[in-house]
Amino acid sequence: MGRPPSSAKDGVKKGPWDAEEDKKLVDFISKHGPGCWISLPKLAGLNRCGKSCRLRWINYLRPDIKRGNFTAEEEQQILRLHAILGNKWSAIAMQLPGRTDNEIKNYWNTHLKKRLIRMGYDPMTHEPRTDLMACLRVLAMSNNGLNDLLNHNPLDVNAVKLDYLKQILQSTDAGAPNLVSSISTPLLKGSPLLNSLPQLENQQASFSMGATSSLHLQPLHHPITTALSASPMDLQIDPQVTFPPSLDSMPFDGTAARLSCGFFQGDNLVENISAAWDFESASDFVPSFISDADTPVSNPGDVRSSSSLHCGGGASGRSSPWTEIFFDHSIIQ
């Protein structure tokens, strides 16, 4: 568990602690108290840096550390405190005797945050995230309906693709309070793929999102994709738009498309997400998530790969919960 043993420039040992090191540290601190962490390693006969000793003592060796699973009461307390304090793990730990900030942080990241997400709450604000539902439905189709179709009729890939596109374009959310946009599909005209399904042309599709959402649909793998991503296809849906007529004649090779949603607070984009569909092969048909650039998320199941999605309004460097929202949500699963 943990980091592999390694040596720093000055020869100080790093990585997991062994029993002998633990004993030296415990013996020294029980005799002399924690004191100065910088000089402690030398005095205790440890080939570690003071920082490492401090961390080991505070997070593992301290006699008042409580071991074992978190109780339901502790979970509730963490949730309550996190709603008030945010990621102030040390402040939260002060209210939970025997628990360390590191332990609480780990427990939050591996259990409680995901649980909140599954329940439809934003783990940072602890507020319901109703504005995500339209995108979740689109993505649910991708993970369930599409795969089912492929499994049942693997040979008729084009039919599956068309059906999938149709589902996306027909998706509605009558239950949500903000039914704000409608999107026509002239963009898809001319696609060899779509020509085989005439009724799809000019079809109106409704997407339900927050009243200040944006949406764009654009072809990938196209020479002018880059130019398009800046404008004019990034559309502010407030309250109702259709694709600009100029896009009617845009070539679409039928191999890929991207759905992108931006969420705004006032004029500020606080979150932008995209899903891309690659129609080149059936196996690539599950959408991949992309950030504001064209960098696909290589391993969307691993939350650590989601760092390319920036969560606005928080501290810099904070990883976005959005990928988890999609892949952990009960609708998806």
Partner DNA sequence: AAGCGTCCCAACCGCAGGTTG
Partner DNA sequence: GCAACCTGCGGTTGGGACGCT
Q: Are 123 and 117 in contact (CB under 8 A)?
A: yes
298 sits in the region (left: phi over 0; alpha: psi -120 to 50; else beta) called alpha
> Is there binding between residue 119 and DNA (CB under 7 A)?
no
Q: For residue 40, what is the enclosing H or E element?
A: helix 40-44
Q: How many residues bind DNA (CB under 7 A)?
A: 46
107 binds DNA (CB under 7 A): yes
Task: Say if CB 204 and CB 186 are below 8 A apart.
Answer: no
Quote the least distance from Cβ 143 to DNA, whole Å.
12
How many CB atoms sit inside 10 A of residue 290's CB? 20
Q: Does 110 bind DNA (CB under 7 A)?
A: yes
Give buried/exposed letters for 204-243 (b at 16+ CB in 10 A, else e).
ebbbbbbebbbbbbbbbebeeeeebbeeebbbebeeebeb
Binding test (CB under 7 A) with DNA, winner from 147, 167, 307, 308: 307
Q: Please identify which residue in 153, 202, 299, 333 interacts with DNA, judged by CB under 7 A.
A: 299
Asked if residue 213 lies in contact with residue 262, where contact means CB atoms within 8 angstroms, the answer is: yes
Tell me if 315 contacts DNA by CB under 7 A: yes
- Contact set for DNA, span 55-84 (CB under 7 A): 55-56, 59-60
Candidate segments 9-17, 73-81, 143-151, 200-208, binder of DNA by CB under 7 A: 9-17
* Options 29, 78, 103, 139; binder of DNA; rule CB under 7 A: 103
- Does position 143 interact with DNA (CB under 7 A)? The reply is no
Stretch that binds DNA, among 10-18, 133-141, 144-152, 238-246 (CB under 7 A): 10-18
CA dihedral 307, 310, 315, 316 (to 10 degrees): 70
Select from 102-110, 155-163, 205-213, 234-242 the region that touches DNA (CB under 7 A).
Answer: 102-110
Piece in contact with DNA (CB under 7 A), picked from 25-33, 96-104, 134-142, 145-153: 96-104
Stretch that binds DNA, among 104-112, 173-181, 209-217, 255-263 (CB under 7 A): 104-112
Tokens of 314: 């928080």
Helix, strand, coil fractions of the chain, as percent rounded to 5: 40, 15, 45
Q: Catalog residues that contact DNA under the rule CB under 7 A.
A: 1-4, 8, 14-17, 35-39, 50-52, 54-56, 59-60, 87-91, 101-103, 105-107, 109-111, 299, 301-304, 307, 315, 317-319
